[in-house]
């Protein structure tokens, strides 16, 4: 971003005391503006609060700069109260493209929700889920028996996807990660990398015996019978990262952890 000493900054914070206190200090120092009137939104908290902020302000077309005042901060920059305008002006902008989930329930309801990290399906009971998978209308797996399965964005590839042994994707990669959770059959299937334009459809088999829930980030839909997942054709959000610790740097660091 271009350095602008008149930059209007909106500070939003999680309900953690440390984040709220930081927001008060920063507002006193840099001014207090409502998000709709600001040039940039600064989110204070952890990754969970950052995701909440991204979803809430996705349609505002304003860049969001996070500073870590929480427990997990992969999407966040280091916290510092000094030189904030200069840091924001020098930050690298990355576009995040969310997923759109369309879930049809057993009761006949259709629920649509956006996901910045991933769309996941999980078994609802002690019985493993039994699913079939289509990609762009073509059957790719007739039967997957598992605890769950997800489609993750590059932004979400270092979150639950990574915990399930899925691949880490650079933010600019035009790919989606299709990753199973504890697959029982086929036991050796580790998932797939799909083009970002792919539409994935999951169909639940043996619905009454093996009920399944679907989750788009924090939006949960119970007892689904089918779920379609694709990249949203319109929704976009811009995240700002310090040039000294860019998203690419974080991706490389994460891949060399052991």
Q: Which residue positions form the known binding site for NAD(+)?
A: 47-48, 117-118, 147, 155, 158-163
Q: How far apart are CA 225 and CA 84, in angstroms?
A: 48
End-to-end CA distance of the chain: 35
How many CB atoms within 10 Å of residue 51? 22
Q: Which residue has the tokens 């799909």?
A: 194
| 221 within 8 A of 103, measured Cβ to Cβ | yes
Cα separation values, 144 from 37, 38, 183, 244, Å: 49, 47, 7, 43
SS3 call for 4:
coil
By residue count, the chain amounts to: 258
DSSP track, 187-213: TT---EEEETT--EEEEESSTTTS-EE
Between strands 148-152 and 175-181, the pairing is antiparallel
Active-site residue list: 47
Q: Which residue has the tokens 């700069």?
A: 65
Residue ranges of the annotated binding site are 47-48, 117-118, 147, 155, 158-163
SS3 call for 71:
coil
| 195 within 8 A of 156, measured Cβ to Cβ | no
Q: How far apart are CA 64 and CA 166, in angstroms?
A: 27
Q: Which residue has the tokens 């997942």?
A: 229
Closest CA to 135 of 64, 210, 67, 191: 191
């Amino acid at each position: 971003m271009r350095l602008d000493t008149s930059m209007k900054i909106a500070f939003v914070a999680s309900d953690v005391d440390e984040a709220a206190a930081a927001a008060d200090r920063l507002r006193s120092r840099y001014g207090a503006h409502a998000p709709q009137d600001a040039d940039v939104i600064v989110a204070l908290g952890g990754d969970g609060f950052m995701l909440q902020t991204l979803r809430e302000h996705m349609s505002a077309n304003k860049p969001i700069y996070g500073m870590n005042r929480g427990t997990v901060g992969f999407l966040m920059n280091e916290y510092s109260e000094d030189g904030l305008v200069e840091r924001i002006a020098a930050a690298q902008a990355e576009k995040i493209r969310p997923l759109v989930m369309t879930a049809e329930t057993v009761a006949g309801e259709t629920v649509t929700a956006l996901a910045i990290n991933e769309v996941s399906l999980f078994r609802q009971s002690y019985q493993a889920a039994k699913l079939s998978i289509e990609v762009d209308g073509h059957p790719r797996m007739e039967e997957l028996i598992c605890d769950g399965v997800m489609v993750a964005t590059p932004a979400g590839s270092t979150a639950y996807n990574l915990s399930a042994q899925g691949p880490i994707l650079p933010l600019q990669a035009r790919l989606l990660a299709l990753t199973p959770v504890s697959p029982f059959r086929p036991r050796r299937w580790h998932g797939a990398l799909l083009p970002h334009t792919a539409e994935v459809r999951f169909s639940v088999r043996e619905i009454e015996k093996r009920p399944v829930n679907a989750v788009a980030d924090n939006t949960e839909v119970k007892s689904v019978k089918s779920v379609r997942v694709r990249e949203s054709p319109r929704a976009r959000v811009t995240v700002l990262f310090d040039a000294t610790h860019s998203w690419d740097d974080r991706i490389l660091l994460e891949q060399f952890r052991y």
